[in-house]
Amino acid sequence: MNNSLDLESTKIFNDYHTFMVGQKKSALLKIYKSILIAFFVLSTFFLLIFIERTFFAAGNIMFQGWKINDFLSYETLKNQQRNTMIMIRFALLAFVFFYSISKNYINIYFQKETIKKYWPWFTAYLSYSVIAFGLLFGFFTNSPAKLSYLFLILIPLYVLNLSYAIYLYFLKKKTDPNSYNNKISLMIGLISQSLLVVLTLALMSAWVAAAKDGISIDENLYNANSFYTFWQNLFTTRKTGNLMLILLFTIILTSLLIGVNADKISFLFFKQNKQEYFKDKILITLGVLTAILAWTIRVLFYKVNTTSVLGNSLETYTYLLEILFGAIIFSLFTISQFVKKIKTNSQIVNATNHVFAQSLLWISLFTITLLNRQNTLVNLINTFFVSAFSYAMLVIYFIKNTNYSFLTTTLLRLAIIVNALVLIIFNINQILIANKNYIFLTIDSNLYLTQIVLVVCGIVWFAFLITTIASLILVANKITYFKKRVRSENEK
């Protein structure tokens, strides 16, 4: 009798110990994720708040006499090279910054069982993000050669990815051998990454090396540069050989990009619950939109023609009724989600309601922007409020929805990214106009660039709507089929 009591006590103790270990792992997971999300949102916000420095490199920090007014001005080879170097510098460092944070965040999903062992990788990827963040504020050079050296930052990042991929493979081979035993996808991913890094370094080095002696450093990437001349002729001269080369390069680049994601593609084919994985992907995307929305508040107060949001002409402010329309749509959506008599537990119905409301918001915004082409400030105000309503609906849907498929996650992330792109384009346009740069309003098109991105946004949400309606019809047909089948069996 005493022995059985001792055994029972031991069992209870062991269960409690296992429970406590699980709780500690869960707490550590939340701590890691919270640190990354907080750092991601705050650092992105500061990069945008100081965009005159981090992106435009305005003033004399990179080029003497460089102003935002010169951005995207290609009237001289000197300006052409300056614009190119500014965008290459930002694109490289921004890629390293965003990639290392998102990679770190998604890695945590695969470390749930052994999260305590993940700290070296967590620290390494986070350090890389901090370095890229610092370089966006502190690294500026007017020398193409020195800028090409900056691309060497990709090598240690690849080595970090390589070491982590090998570590994860052997870890999962022990903890989850049925799902993570695909050596082929691992090798394809690593080889594709290495080839992309080598190709990027080779192209940038070749461009710099092709500069001729005696040509000014301010324009040697374009003036009598054989590398630039080759690519210019490739895309401008109509020849069968050029077309074949372009197709070849496109196939190679597409294959490499697919190869880089081979391990992700392989993972998506595993038959297991991926809801947490999909939610992590959506959450990190929402983090970007959060920072951009906060930045937009600052952009609203940029002065254009000595006036800002607090002192602009009221003659076209009737178009601000779009805010009221957006508020009505948001209110109706919120009621449909929280009022007991109206709300539904059907995931597909909630998804359809959400996407329908989003489509109405963005299509109405495009219509108002088309009618009010001249007042960019009013358009920006409308865009901000519509984006805020859209963001609130996204958050409500994200919290309430528990079922995510690969298609839903992909479309939702694409829609969030396009929403963020709309805000970025509108904000940059306002900053440019404040600096007497009207490049976004002078493109060779019937629509301004701001209106073009709204068209893209509307198309994405409408495509999402068509997909959800098709899914709803499919589910309804299945239910009807099974009801008829049950009824016919009962009649027999």
User: What does the pLDDT look like over 359-392, one tens digit per residue?
Assistant: 999 999 998 888 877 778 888 889 999 999 999 9
Indicate the pLDDT class of residue 247, thresholds 50, 70 and 90: very high
Residues in the chain: 492
Residue 276: the pLDDT is 83
What is the percent of the chain with per-residue pLDDT over 90, rounded to a whole number? 43
The answer on 237 and 166 residing in a single domain is yes
Residue 178: the pLDDT is 62
Separation of alpha carbons 375 and 322, rounded Å = 14
Indicate the pLDDT class of residue 122, thresholds 50, 70 and 90: very high
How many structural domains does the chain have?
3
Separation of alpha carbons 412 and 443, rounded Å = 30
Residue 13: the pLDDT is 45
Indicate the pLDDT class of residue 6, thresholds 50, 70 and 90: low
Q: C-alpha 24: how far from its chain's center?
A: 31
- Tens of pLDDT, residue by residue over 343-365, are 777 788 888 899 999 999 999 99
Residue 311: the pLDDT is 45
Write the CA distances from 354 to 168, 330, 336, 405, integer angstroms.
Answer: 37, 10, 10, 16
The answer on 123 and 237 residing in a single domain is no
Residue 12: the pLDDT is 47
Name every residue whose Cβ is closer than 8 Å to that of residue 44 and which is 6 or more positions away in sequence.
Answer: 287, 288, 291, 292
Residue 180: the pLDDT is 60
Residue 18: the pLDDT is 46
Q: Is residue 66 part of a domain?
A: yes
Indicate the pLDDT class of residue 491, thresholds 50, 70 and 90: low
pLDDT of 129 higher than 90: yes
The answer on 53 and 113 residing in a single domain is yes
Residue 444: the pLDDT is 63
Q: Is residue 4 part of a domain?
A: no
Domain-ending residue, one of 268, 298, 326: 268
Residue 309: the pLDDT is 46
Range 248-252 average pLDDT: 93
Q: Is residue 9 part of a domain?
A: no
The answer on 285 and 262 residing in a single domain is no
pLDDT of 188 higher than 60: yes
DSSP category for residue 375: -
The answer on 254 and 169 residing in a single domain is yes
Domain-ending residue, one of 109, 139, 169: 139
Range 150-173 average pLDDT: 90
pLDDT of 310 higher than 70: no
The answer on 348 and 250 residing in a single domain is no
Q: Is residue 7 part of a domain?
A: no
- Tens of pLDDT, residue by residue over 65-99, are 888 888 888 888 899 999 999 999 999 999 999 99
Indicate the pLDDT class of residue 237, thresholds 50, 70 and 90: confident
Q: Is residue 1 part of a domain?
A: no
Range 269-278 average pLDDT: 74
Q: Is residue 70 part of a domain?
A: yes
Range 331-340 average pLDDT: 88
Ranges 20-24, 47-51, 106-110, most confident: 47-51
The answer on 403 and 339 residing in a single domain is yes
Residue 177: the pLDDT is 65
Domain-ending residue, one of 139, 154, 181: 139
pLDDT of 307 higher than 60: no
Range 408-434 average pLDDT: 91
pTM of the full structure: 0.87
The answer on 131 and 152 residing in a single domain is no
The answer on 335 and 235 residing in a single domain is no
Q: Cα dihedral sign for 103, 197, 254, 183? A: negative
Residue 357: the pLDDT is 93
The residue range of the domain holding 428 is: 275-491
Indicate the pLDDT class of residue 419, thresholds 50, 70 and 90: very high
Q: Is residue 74 part of a domain?
A: yes
The answer on 102 and 174 residing in a single domain is no
Residue 7: the pLDDT is 46
211 token code pair: 């500069």
> Taking Cα atoms as reference points, which of 241, 219, 194 lies closest to residue 80?
219
Name the average pLDDT for the chain: 85
User: Residue 308 in contact with residue 301, Cβ under 8 Å?
Assistant: yes
The answer on 249 and 208 residing in a single domain is yes
Backbone angles phi and psi of 59, in degrees to 5: 90, -145
Q: Beta partners for 307?
A: 304
The answer on 342 and 288 residing in a single domain is yes
Residue 287: the pLDDT is 92
- Tens of pLDDT, residue by residue over 454-470, are 999 999 999 999 998 98
